[in-house]
Amino acid sequence: MRSKLRLTAAVTVALAVAATGAACTKKNDTTAAGGGDAAGGTAKVAFVPKLQGIPYFEAMNDGGKEAAGELGVDWLYQGPTSADAAAQADIVNSFIQQKVDALFIAPNDPDSMAPLIKQGIDAGVKVGTSDTDAPNSARELMVLMASAEGIGKANTEALMKAMGGKGEYAIVSCGETASQLNQWIDEIKKYQTANYPDAKLVDTVYAGEDVAKATQMATDLMNAHPNLKGFVGVCSTAGPGVAQAVENAGKIGKVFTVGMGTPNDMKKYLQSGSASAGVLWDAKALGCLTAWAGLQLAQDKQFQASQPVEACGLDKVTYDSSTKVLLMGDPLTFTKDTVGNYNF
């Protein structure tokens, strides 16, 4: 009986290995086929989001597709199903193997992506980042939605408007090592200290990408600081999370929140008053700009400091040649009156 058991186990493991192998091969086939269709004269621009399937990146994909139709670019979009650096690296690798013309990445782990970016450039692919930068890499362009200063200012202004310019507030973020989020937090602090000296940041906590945890931590912060008057939720799960906490505690009108959630996620909270404003940017326009920038790179065009864009509903964007950053503009601040204008 024991040997039978062992046999069963061995067979199962073998099957599992075979199945995994098959799955991998299949996945690569699909991407290869996706690239194969593109054989033609048009530039192939690929974008690898942090993860596929969340509304924010899907909106970027919509924008990219739209630009593709307008500009005659072949737009390829594929990301991992979870924000996993290794799975993302596989996809980036497969796009490099396909020799796409331009490749944009929103890296989950900027530092571990750097060697792969180098590899892509060596293979003749124009590699850039979009949404999230890999500052210590050889990337040839960064498509940035809004400057950290702009985001810090927009969040602080929106919150201080609701709080009356003074009082205690706290920040709820996602990952403690997310350098972009930390940069925004620094800018919020800086802007608030300079412009609203009567306000005070009492704590910054990290809830991971978990709405329920953000809610619970915001609740704990309200208990720890009875005079707390405001929250900034600086990532897409923390924005709705802090608003939910205010709603649960029945403190609408006493504690104010501003969140960086998507308009669809923030809508209900803006309407109930538990969130005063949302701060984000037009993800669709960012996707579109990414596709457009990819075409420019593929055609070896140089960017100008004030660069006109003939697509995406964008007038002009700015380019900083020392950092190679293409900046889309100021972030959007949306309230209950304007949240309906966006659909992502």
Positions in the binding site for another protein (CB under 8 A): 5, 8-9, 12-13, 16, 52-55, 58, 81-82, 176, 202-203, 205-207, 209-212, 215-217, 219-226, 237, 240-241, 244, 247-250, 262, 264-265, 267-269
Nearer to another protein, 104 or 269 (CB): 269
Alpha-carbon gap, residue 117 to 120, rounded angstroms = 5
Looking at the chain, list the stretches that DSSP marks H as alpha helix, in order from N- to C-terminal side.
2-36, 55-71, 85-97, 110-122, 148-163, 179-195, 211-224, 238-248, 263-272, 283-298
Nearer to another protein, 55 or 165 (CB): 55
Q: Measured from the CB of residue 265, what is the shortest distance to another protein in angstroms? A: 5
Nearer to another protein, 9 or 32 (CB): 9
Half-sphere exposure at residue 35, Cβ-oriented, CA atoms within 13 angstroms: 21
Query: What is the DSSP code (8-state) at residue 302?
Result: P
Q: Measured from the CB of residue 11, what is the shortest distance to another protein in angstroms? A: 9
Alpha-carbon gap, residue 89 to 155, rounded angstroms = 33
Q: Measured from the CB of residue 228, what is the shortest distance to another protein in angstroms? A: 10
Q: Are 39 and 74 in contact (CB under 8 A)?
A: no
Nearer to another protein, 259 or 294 (CB): 259
Q: Measured from the CB of residue 273, what is the shortest distance to another protein in angstroms? A: 14
For the residues of 101-137, what is the DSSP string, one character each?
A: SEEEE--SSHHHHHHHHHHHHHTT-EEEEESS--TTS
Residue length of the chain: 344
Q: Reading across the β-sheet that carries 256-259, which strands appear in turn?
A: 199-206, 167-173, 228-233, 256-259, 277-280, 332-334
Q: Measured from the CB of residue 16, what is the shortest distance to another protein in angstroms? A: 7
Nearer to another protein, 245 or 289 (CB): 245
Nearer to another protein, 81 or 302 (CB): 81
**DSSP strand pairing (44-48 vs 74-77):** parallel
Alpha-carbon gap, residue 117 to 249, rounded angstroms = 47
Q: Measured from the CB of residue 283, what is the shortest distance to another protein in angstroms? A: 13
**DSSP strand pairing (277-280 vs 332-334):** antiparallel
Q: Measured from the CB of residue 123, what is the shortest distance to another protein in angstroms? A: 30
Beta-bridge mates of residue 44: 74
Nearer to another protein, 237 or 276 (CB): 237
